[in-house]
A and B are shown apart, each in its own frame.
Chain A
Amino acid sequence: MRKTTALRAAAAATAALLTATACSSHRGQDAQDTAADGACKGQQTTGITDETIKLGGIYPLSGPASAYGTISKGVAAYFKHVNDKGGIDGRKVEFTVRDDGYQPPKAVEEARRLVEREKVFAVFQTLGTPSTAAVWDYLDKQKVPQPFVATGASIWGTDDKHPWTIGWQPNYVSEARVYAKYLKDEKPKAKVAVLFQNDDFGKDLLGGFKEAVAGSGIKVVAEESYEVTDPSVSAQMTSLARSKADVLLNITTPKFGSQALAADAKNTKWNPLHIVNNVSSSATVLQPVGFKNVQGVVSATYFKDPADPQWADDAEMKAYKDALRKYAPDSDPANQFNAYGWAAASSLHEVLDGMKCPTREGLRDAVRDLKDVKVNMLLPGVTLSTGPDDAFPIETMQLMRFKGERWQLFGEPVDTRKEFGPLAK
C-alpha cells in the first residue's frame, strides 16, 4: 500500500512539473520574437543578432540509427572552426544538438524545444525520413527554416507545400538515375535483379531506376523485397540468383547490405555486376563482409571520402581533419559521416553568406536561390544549385568501384538533371 501511495505521489509530482514547464514555454513565446526593419521589414529575426546565430539540429545519438549521430560532430566541428576564424559574417554560431533516438514523436518534441525554448534561428538538419516528415508540418506552421535535412527522400524537393524545408544530399531518384546512366553506357542490354527495402526509401530508389531505364534495352527481371524486421535476406538472394540477371541492384540499409554482399560473394555460380546503393557503401558495411569479397562492387558518391588517400593533400580535407582532432577528439576523422556533416555545414555557411536579409525569410529564400555554389568538401564537379522550380541542391554524383581496400572514383560526375531533366512532381 505504501508503495502505491509513493508511486502516485511521484506521478502527480511529475505531472505537475510537466504542466508547469509546458505553460512557461508557451508564455514566453511571442513576446521575445522580433522583427527586422528597412528592406527586410516585418521579417523574423528570432535567433539571429549581429553577434550570434542560433541553430539547432536533431540527430539519433542513441538507438538503432545512432551510427549516423556522429554527423552532428562533423557539423559542430565545422561551426567551431568557423567561429574561431571570426564566425559567419561576424556572427558566432551557437549549434545545439538534440537526440531523438530515430523516433519521430521524440523528434517533434525536440523540434518544439528548439523552436519554443531555445528560440533557434533555424533547425539545421533533422536526420532520417521518418523524423523529418514528423516535424516539417510543425516547422512550416511556425515559419522556421529547416534547411538541408539529412535524408535522400525525393519528397523534400517535389513537395510544394513546405517552403521552409529543403533537402541537401542527392535524392534517391537522382542516385538511381546515375546507375541507370552507367548501365545504359556500359551494359545497354542488362538484365537487372533488384533487392530492396520495403519502405519509402527502397521504393523511391527502385521507382526512380525503373523510370530511368524505361524505353531502353535494360530490363528489371526480378525484384525481391525485405522488411527491416527480417532476420536475413538470404532467401531473397537465392530467389534473385534464379533470375540469372547480369546486374544486381542492392537497395539496402547497412546490416542487410552486408548480408546481401556476403550472399553474393558466397554464390560462385552467379556473378552479377553488384551495384550497392550509397546508404550501404560505407566501410562499416563492407569490412564485415571482407574486402576480398567485395572487389569490383559499384556505387556512387558526391563528397570527398576522408579515408581516400587521393585527398590527403587537399586543403579542405586537411582543415577538416585538424578541426575534428581539435574540437571532436573522440570522433574518427576517417568516418565519412563526419565529413558528411562538415560538407552540409559548410554548404549552410555559403547559404548564410548569400542571405539578402539576416532573417528566417532571408534564409528560406537564399537556400532556394543557389547558382553553382562550390563547396570544398564536395567532389570536384559537384555543386549546389536550386531555383524556383528546383528544390534539389545536389543532383550530381560520381560512380566509384571498390578496389583493394577502398573506393576508387571513375568516369565523369553525372549531372542527373541535365541527363534526365527535373524530377516529376
Chain B
Amino acid sequence: MSAVTEFLQQVTEGLGSGAVYASLALALVLIHRFTGIVNFAQGELAMISTYVAWQLVASGMSFWLALPVTLAVSFAGGMLIERIVIRPVQGAPELTVVIVTVGLFVFVNAMAGLIWSFTVKDFPQQFPDGGIDLAGVRVDWSTLGIIGVVAVVMGLLYLLFQHISAGLVMRAVACNPASARLAGIRVSRVLMLGWGLAATVGAVSGVLVAPVLFLEPNMMGGVLIYAFAAATLGGFDSPVGAVVGGLFVGVAETLTGAYVDVVGADLKVGVPLVIILAVLLARPQGLFGRAAVERA
C-alpha cells in the first residue's frame, strides 16, 4: 500500500467517524435553534432511543417497523421531557437550563443501565457487510450509508429552517421568547416541538451508529464531546455547518492520531478540545453560523 493510498484510507476512516459525530451534532444544532440552549443530555436521549429500537427488534419486530415506532416514541419522549423537566425552569437563566440537562444526562444514563444493564448489545446492521474498493482504498458500505443518511437529515433540517414558516416561528422563540409570545406565538408549544424533533434526530443518530459502536449506556458519551466540537466549529445554528464540522473533526482527529507522533492515540482525544478553543477564539459563531446581534 503506497503512502498516498494509506493517507486516503486514513481520511476515509476519519470521514466515517466524522459522520458519526455529525449525526449527533445535527440534533444539537436543532435543539439550539429551537430553544437557544445547549443540551448536554442529547447524546443520552439518542442512546435510550436506540435501546427502545433494540428492545423492539429483540422482541421480534422487524427493523423497518421498529424504526418508525422508535422515532415516534422519541418524538413523544422529547416533548414529555420538555414538559416535565424543562418547563419548570423555563425563563430561568440559560445556565440553569444547561445544568438541568446535565442532570438529565446522568439520570438517563443510570436509567438505561438499570433497565438494560451495562453489557454490550449488538444492534442489527441494516447496511450490507463489506465495502467497495476505490483505487486501493476500502470504503465500508456502513460508512457510506451513515454519510448518506446524515446528508438527508441535514437537507431536511435546512428546509425546515429556511423554507417553512414554522422555522421562522421557532427562530423567533429562540431569539426572544418574550417578544415572540407578545406576537401571538405559543412559545411553550414551539419549545416542546423543538425537544421532540431533536430527540427524533438523535434517535436516527443512535440507530445509525449503534451497529458500529455497539450499544451500551455509555455509547454516546464519547460521541457527544466530538459532536460539541463539530457544532462549535460549524456554528451552533447551521445544519450544514454541523455536518462539515463533524467530518472535519473526524478527519483531523484520525490524521493527527496517525501521523503526528507527539499526539498519537493517547492525545487524540484532545483534538476536539483544541478545535473548540481555537474556534471560540477566532470565530465564536462558527464557520457557518451567524453572529448573534443584540440591540444596544
Question: Which positions in A face B, CB cutoff 8 Å?
Answer: 62-67, 198, 224-227, 229-232, 234-236, 238-239, 242, 254-255, 258-259, 262, 266-269, 284-285, 287-290
Bitwise, B261-273 to A at CB < 8 A (1) or not (0) is 0001110110000
A259 with B129, Cβ < 8 A, contacts A226-B265, A235-B258 known: no
CB proximity to A under 8 Å, residues B196-217? 212-214, 216-217
In the complex, the answer to whether A232 meets B213 with C-beta atoms within 8 Å is yes
Pick the residue among A225, A226, A231, A255 that contacts B226 (CB under 8 A). Answer: A231
In the complex, the answer to whether B113 meets A64 with C-beta atoms within 8 Å is yes
A236 with B113, Cβ < 8 A, contacts A231-B213, A242-B1, A254-B120 known: no
Nearest B residue to A233 via CB reads B265
Pick the residue among B118, B122, B129, B213 that contacts A66 (CB under 8 A). Answer: B118
CA of A266 to CA of B140 in the docked complex: distance in angstroms?
9
In the complex, the answer to whether A259 meets B214 with C-beta atoms within 8 Å is yes
Nearest A residue to B258 via CB reads A239
In the complex, the answer to whether B212 meets A232 with C-beta atoms within 8 Å is yes
CA of A266 to CA of B138 in the docked complex: distance in angstroms?
11
CA of A67 to CA of B110 in the docked complex: distance in angstroms?
14
Which B residues touch A62, using CB under 8 A?
Answer: 110, 113-114
**Distance to closest chain A CB from B256 (angstroms):** 10
CA of A267 to CA of B121 in the docked complex: distance in angstroms?
21
Pick the residue among A229, A269, A288 that contacts B214 (CB under 8 A). Answer: A288
In the complex, the answer to whether A255 meets B265 with C-beta atoms within 8 Å is no
Selected interface stretch from B9-17, B33-41, B145-153:
B9-17
In the complex, the answer to whether A225 meets B17 with C-beta atoms within 8 Å is no
CB proximity to A under 8 Å, residues B238-296? 253-254, 257-258, 264-266, 268-269
In the complex, the answer to whether A266 meets B218 with C-beta atoms within 8 Å is no
In the complex, the answer to whether A284 meets B119 with C-beta atoms within 8 Å is yes
Which A residues touch B257, using CB under 8 A?
Answer: 235-236, 239
In the complex, the answer to whether A66 meets B258 with C-beta atoms within 8 Å is no
Question: Which positions in B face A, CB cutoff 8 Å?
Answer: 1, 6, 9-10, 13-14, 16-17, 20, 110, 113-114, 117-122, 129-130, 138, 140, 212-214, 216-219, 221-223, 225-226, 253-254, 257-258, 264-266, 268-269
A259 with B122, Cβ < 8 A, contacts A198-B266, A231-B17, A234-B13 known: no
Nearest A residue to B222 via CB reads A231
In the complex, the answer to whether B222 meets A230 with C-beta atoms within 8 Å is yes
Question: Could you list some 13 contacts between A and B, CB below 8 A?
Answer: A64-B113, A66-B117, A66-B118, A225-B264, A230-B222, A230-B268, A231-B213, A232-B20, A234-B16, A254-B119, A267-B138, A269-B138, A289-B122
Which A residues touch B140, using CB under 8 A?
Answer: 266
In the complex, the answer to whether B226 meets A235 with C-beta atoms within 8 Å is no
In the complex, the answer to whether A288 meets B120 with C-beta atoms within 8 Å is yes
Which B residues touch A64, using CB under 8 A?
Answer: 113, 118, 217-218
CA of A226 to CA of B265 in the docked complex: distance in angstroms?
6
Which B residues touch A268, using CB under 8 A?
Answer: 130
Pick the residue among B122, B130, B221, B254 that contacts A290 (CB under 8 A). Answer: B122
In the complex, the answer to whether B119 meets A236 with C-beta atoms within 8 Å is no
**Distance to closest chain A CB from B266 (angstroms):** 6
**Distance to closest chain A CB from B296 (angstroms):** 35
Pick the residue among A63, A231, A235 that contacts B254 (CB under 8 A). Answer: A235
A258 with B214, Cβ < 8 A, contacts A230-B222, A235-B254 known: yes
Pick the residue among B120, B121, B221, B265 that contacts A225 (CB under 8 A). Answer: B265
Which A residues touch B218, using CB under 8 A?
Answer: 64, 255
CA of A286 to CA of B122 in the docked complex: distance in angstroms?
10
With A231-B17, A254-B119 known, 20 other A-B pairs at CB within 8 A are A66-B117, A67-B117, A225-B266, A227-B269, A229-B222, A229-B269, A230-B222, A230-B268, A230-B269, A231-B223, A234-B13, A235-B13, A235-B258, A236-B265, A238-B258, A242-B1, A255-B120, A284-B119, A284-B120, A290-B122
Which B residues touch A269, using CB under 8 A?
Answer: 138
CA of A67 to CA of B120 in the docked complex: distance in angstroms?
10
